[in-house]
A and B are shown apart, each in its own frame.
Chain A
Amino acid sequence: MATLPLSGGCQCGAVRYRIATMPFWAGTCHCGMCRRMCGAPFITWMTVPNTSVTWEGVAAARYRASPIAERGHCPTCGAQLFWQGQHEPHNVDLTVATLDDPGAVRPQMHIYWDDRMPGIELADGLPRYRQGHRDSPLVKP
């Protein structure tokens, strides 16, 4: 069981954060926008209320990646840190990979599975949604 607060930050250490409550959702996103931004096969996100997050150090650089969301990264090393949806301004998604203990939060599902990078073969048994988990069917195993 993870100890609160959760703590994390970017690779160079300029941006740090603490999270006072356990995330109420965590999932791995395979969409093309996440892939481009991290340069990696996929991103695992965890959702918490904005009021649970304390940012420290340098302010993250914000980029409006689409009409529905802003993404935040470290201005020095570029590490992807958060996704802020406009429809849910009270919650924020942070990257599990930037936690000091990235094993503290485990994803519950895969989203945008149809968009995954070729060659990705996972056997974690988690549900796989074709697109978003609220508005798309599961992929049949």
Chain B
Amino acid sequence: MAKLNGGCLCGDVRYTISAAPQHAVYCHCGMCRRSSGAPYTGWVVFTASAVKWTTAEPSEYKSSVQASRRHCRRCGSQISWQSVKRPEFMAITIGTLDTPDAVKPERHVFWADRVPGLEIQDGLPRT
């Protein structure tokens, strides 16, 4: 399995991932929407120990009692989500991968919370 690489827009935060993804989803929850500024997000989940920051470490923000999110201090790019209960996994934003086509999300989650007017027809399951 080739390594996956990615990073923020300004280049301050770069990462490399040395494991295969566990799974990938699109998330329509309100917290993802607010923190990204986008209608919905795409996440790909890895074993946390496989994710290495190769330049600056991103800023960590505890977005709820359940999880923390990381972003680049300089440009704000959203980088990761990590659960307090399951810190052995880390979700990475598909949009910051150098090759977002390397990941195929399997479903939409928090579909009921989606932005009104969004018409997605990709055939993926919605939960």
Contact = CB atoms under 8 A, between A and B. Distances in A.
Interface string B98-127: 001100110000000001111111110000
Contacts, number: 165
Contact of A122 (B9, B63, B120): B120
Contacts of B8: 36-37
A48 interface: no
B122 to A, nearest CB: 4
A63 B72 CA distance: 11
Nearest to B76: A73
Interface stretch (A51-59, A98-106, A127-135): A98-106
Interface residues of A, number: 47
B122 A97 contact: no
Contacts of A120: 122
A40 B119 contact: no
A9 B76 CA distance: 15
B95 interface: yes
Contacts of A80: 36-38, 76
A9 B8 CA distance: 22
Interface size range on B against A: 35 or more
A38 B38 contact: yes
Given A37-B76, A123-B121, A97 B115 contact: yes
A63 B76 contact: yes
A88 interface: no
A79 to B, nearest CB: 5
A11 B119 contact: no
Given A38-B78, A73-B76, A118 B38 contact: no
A139 interface: no
Interface of B: 7-10, 26, 31-42, 59, 61, 63, 69, 71-79, 93-96, 100-101, 104-105, 115-123
28 contacts: A9-B34, A11-B31, A11-B63, A37-B8, A37-B75, A38-B38, A38-B78, A39-B38, A39-B95, A40-B36, A40-B42, A40-B78, A41-B40, A63-B76, A78-B69, A79-B36, A80-B36, A97-B36, A97-B37, A97-B38, A98-B37, A102-B115, A117-B95, A119-B104, A121-B122, A123-B119, A123-B120, A124-B119
